[in-house]
């Protein structure tokens, strides 16, 4: 007899759990509170330009094995562009270009030579950077447990120039928070996954098209093809729990009683809506914002690809062809600014870094994700909840559960796969 499962939430975590369960012929229903799939990673049409834009630019990497397995499962791999080898273009003011790229020799020397040739910093600093990477395989997690990234970099004699030209861009992009707040332990774990797992792990993977078109539609098709169902605009209001087991799910539209187990795949702050205090131990996460600014130009003369900006409040610029997508991570302070102030900031940075004048810009679209990711601080890394809960038929998924990864797409996908795996044994 088919087991019936209700998945709450249709972001990466919920879609992953539902897809793996549907593959194993579980009877799956997704309840999604909004009228769309994707959670914090989706796309939509810009009504003025008729352009598909993402709510936020998302980068995948070759080391995202969980995400790549999910994309293969739903037949979405062809919607993504894969680098042959690592290449990231960094720029200073005046569009002074400094590529960081692996050299045409065998792994891992290709990456080491790539760092040695990164001319955005002095040769002495390049040697110091290389020393850190040579030490990374041997650094114990215990040594880093109570340290921030800033603490660790000071110990490793990483100058302000190295931090501004490399570490800040990498760490803030990966963890969406400052070097002072983020856990060194978590960061070094990421560096090991990116740079110590083979040549492919360090490569960049980007969607060819909008995020919804890249994976949401494919996931929906896969789940429905395998007998699953997705219900939109139906938020969960409460659980009825008896003897540590969910007996009823009350939503804005229905009451569900016929199910075997439940996977909650919503953000941590949303779980409290239908779980009373004490049912699941959820820590008090602090959150960091991400701001995306889409910029349409009279004529897009920016070279193809994407660029990391050195010593700028704007961290990345992605040329989407139809427009530019500017990304500002760790953007809590900028959230206090009004749109006019943000636009003036963007105009200044585009002028300084990409020689784009204000009169060349047709319009901008500012998208603010206020709780984009939780801050992976030293006190939170060991305090995240497990997939299993003391409620017998409830499993948790989401980038915030204890996956051993920071708040990334890879963490969300892994959490969904783990929740599905626990369900197989229910």
What are the mean pLDDT values of the chain's consecutive 10-residue runs (426 residues total)? 92 98 96 96 91 91 96 98 94 95 83 91 94 91 90 94 92 90 92 90 94 97 97 94 93 94 94 76 88 96 95 96 95 94 97 96 95 86 87 95 93 97 77
pTM score, whole prediction: 0.94
Sole residue written with tokens 């994707």: 38
pLDDT of residue 107: 78
First to last CA, the chain: 13
Identify whether the C-beta of residue 45 lies closer than 8 Å to the C-beta of residue 51: yes
pLDDT of residue 29: 98
pLDDT of residue 278: 66
Helix 168-175 × helix 184-195 angle, to 10° = 100
Taking the CB of residue 151, how many other CB atoms lie within 10 A of it?
15
Give the integer Cα–Cα distance in Å for 159 and 162. 5
pLDDT of residue 411: 95
Adjacency order of strands within the sheet including 394-396: 229-231, 27-31, 4-8, 261-264, 394-396
pLDDT of residue 334: 92
pLDDT of residue 426: 58
């Amino acid at each position: 007899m088919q087991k019936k499962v209700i998945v709450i939430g249709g972001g990466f975590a919920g879609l992953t759990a539902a897809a793996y369960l549907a593959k194993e012929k579980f009877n799956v229903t997704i309840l999604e509170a909004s009228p769309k799939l994707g959670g914090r990673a989706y796309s939509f049409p810009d009504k003025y330009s008729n352009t598909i834009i993402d709510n936020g630019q998302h980068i995948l990497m070759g080391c995202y094995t969980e995400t790549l397995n999910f994309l293969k499962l739903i037949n979405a791999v062809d919607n993504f562009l894969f680098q042959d080898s690592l290449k990231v273009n960094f720029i200073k003011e005046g569009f002074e270009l400094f590529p960081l790229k692996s050299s045409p020799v065998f792994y891992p020397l290709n990456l080491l030579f790539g760092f040695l040739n990164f001319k955005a910093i002095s040769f002495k600093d390049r040697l110091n950077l290389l020393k850190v990477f040579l030490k990374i395989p041997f650094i114990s997690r215990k040594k880093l447990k109570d340290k921030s990234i800033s603490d660790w970099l000071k110990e490793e004699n990483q100058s302000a120039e190295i931090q501004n030209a490399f570490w800040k861009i990498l760490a803030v992009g990966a963890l969406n928070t400052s070097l002072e707040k983020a856990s060194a332990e978590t960061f070094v774990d990421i560096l090991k996954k990116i740079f110590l797992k083979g040549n492919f792990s360090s490569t960049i993977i980007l969607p060819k098209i909008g995020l919804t078109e890249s994976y949401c539609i494919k996931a929906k098709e896969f789940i429905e093809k395998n007998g699953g169902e997705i219900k939109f605009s139906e938020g969960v209001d409460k659980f009825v729990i008896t003897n540590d087991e969910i007996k009823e799910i009350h939503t804005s539209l229905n009451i569900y009683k016929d199910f075997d187990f439940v996977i909650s795949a919503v953000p941590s702050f949303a779980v409290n809506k239908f779980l009373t205090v004490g049912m699941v131990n959820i820590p008090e996460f602090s959150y960091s914002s991400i701001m995306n600014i889409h910029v349409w130009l009279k004529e897009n003369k920016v070279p193809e690809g994407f660029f990391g900006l050195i010593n700028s409040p704007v961290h990345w610029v992605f040329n989407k062809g139809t427009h530019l997508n500017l990304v500002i991570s760790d953007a809590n302070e900028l959230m206090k600014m009004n749109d006019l102030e943000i636009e003036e900031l963007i105009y200044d940075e585009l002028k300084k870094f990409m020689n784009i004048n204000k009169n060349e810009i047709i319009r901008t679209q500012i998208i603010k994700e206020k709780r984009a990711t939780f801050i992976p601080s030293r006190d939170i890394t060991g305090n995240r909840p497990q997939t299993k809960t003391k409620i017998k038929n409830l499993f948790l998924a989401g980038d915030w559960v204890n996956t051993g990864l920071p708040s990334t797409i890879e963490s969300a996908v892994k959490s969904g796969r783990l929740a599905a795996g626990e369900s197989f044994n229910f």
